[in-house]
Amino acid sequence: MSKSSKKKHEEAAAAAAGEESTAAAAESAATADAPAAAGADDVAPAGPEEEAPDPVAVLAAERDEFKDKWLRTVAELDNVRKRASRDLVQGRRFAQADILRAFLEVVDNFERALQSVPGDADTGTPDPFREGVELIHQRLRGVLKDQGVEPIEALAAAFDPNVHEAVGQFEREGVEPGVVIEVAQQGYRFGELVLRPARVIISA
């Protein structure tokens, strides 16, 4: 082989080797880029950044919450105060009723005394003792009335178990059953409280 042919052959081999090297480098680069591209596809797009809460709005919400709690507490305290006031008034009223109830026995005793002492119409002459008992009796009833004590109306009224206590039952012509025909003991009330029910006899 001549020198000229040998030189051409070497140049052709070198060119072929260069092309193979370039192709291998290109393939290697493509292989390296493929995972990167795949990884890029897997990453979710970044969303908008969350805004920080408005400090003014936060303070306003806390203020409203504290105000609501404060109003609730004030309302509860007011209810407690009103309930305590009602209980105090009711307690005093019950205590007063107990004292007034004790005076009813005194009234009963004066009435029995008046029934046992003959009246002026029977004797024909004034009786200072009876007059004194009547004055005391009237005064005592006046004091009870001033305190709010009232007699319970019973005679000829329909029997009411809330204010009447039946101690007997008889038939009476012309009277419907369940009507009070006689009062054995006067009853009294103190406002809405019954100090003593009227003891009555009703028609059968």
Looking at 105, 128, 147, the residue that finishes a domain is: 147
Residue 37 lies in a domain: no
- Where does a domain end: 126, 147, 168? 147
DSSP state of 150: E
- Say if residue 137 is in the same domain as residue 169: no
Does residue 109 belong to any structural domain of this protein? Answer: yes
pLDDT range class, residue 36, cuts 50, 70, 90: very low
More confident residue, 95 or 14: 95
Global pTM reads 0.60
Q: 147, 162, 190: which is the final residue of a domain?
A: 147
| Residue 5, in any domain of the structure | no
Could you tell me if 126 and 96 lie in one domain? Answer: yes
CATH number at residue 164: 2.30.22.10
pLDDT at residue 116 in the model: 85
User: Could you give the C-alpha distances from 154 to 66, 80, 140, 198, in angstroms and in order?
Assistant: 60, 41, 21, 7
Over 90: is that where the pLDDT of 11 sits?
no
Q: Give me the number of domains the chain comprises.
A: 2
| Strands 180-185 and 149-151, bridge-based pairing | unpaired
pLDDT, the chain, mean: 82
Specify if 171 maps to a domain: yes
Q: In this structure, are 139 and 158 located in the same domain?
A: no
Q: Indicate if 143 and 162 belong to the same structural domain.
A: no
Are 109 and 179 members of one domain? no
What CATH number did the domain enclosing 105 receive?
A: 3.90.20
Q: pLDDT tens for residues 73-110?
A: 999 999 999 999 999 988 999 999 999 999 999 999 99
> Which pLDDT band holds residue 142 (cuts at 50, 70, 90)?
very high
Amino acid 120: pLDDT: 65
Q: 178 and 136, same structural domain?
A: no
Q: Which two tokens stand for residue 142?
A: 């006046």
7: in domain: no
| 180 exposure class (CB count in 10 Å sphere: 0-12, 13-18, 19+) | buried
> What is the structure's pLDDT at 8?
56
| Domain of residue 124, residue span | 59-147
Task: Answer yes or no: is 25 within a domain.
Answer: no
Chain-centre distance of CA 120, in angstroms? 63
Report if residue 117 sits inside a domain.
yes
* 107 and 175 share one domain: no
Task: Output the pLDDT for position 17.
Answer: 55
Looking at the fold, whether 67 and 138 belong to one and the same domain comes out as yes
Within-domain flag for 48: no
**What percent of the chain shows pLDDT beyond 90?**
58
Same domain, 94 and 117: yes
Are 153 and 189 a contacting pair, CB within 8 Å? Answer: no
d(CA 117, CA 130): 7
Query: What is the 3 state secondary structure string of 18-53?
Result: HHHHHHHHHHHHHHHHHHHHHHHHHCCCCCCCCCCC
Task: Give the number of other CB atoms < 10 A from CB of residue 136.
Answer: 13
Grade residue 18 by pLDDT with cuts at 50, 70 and 90. low
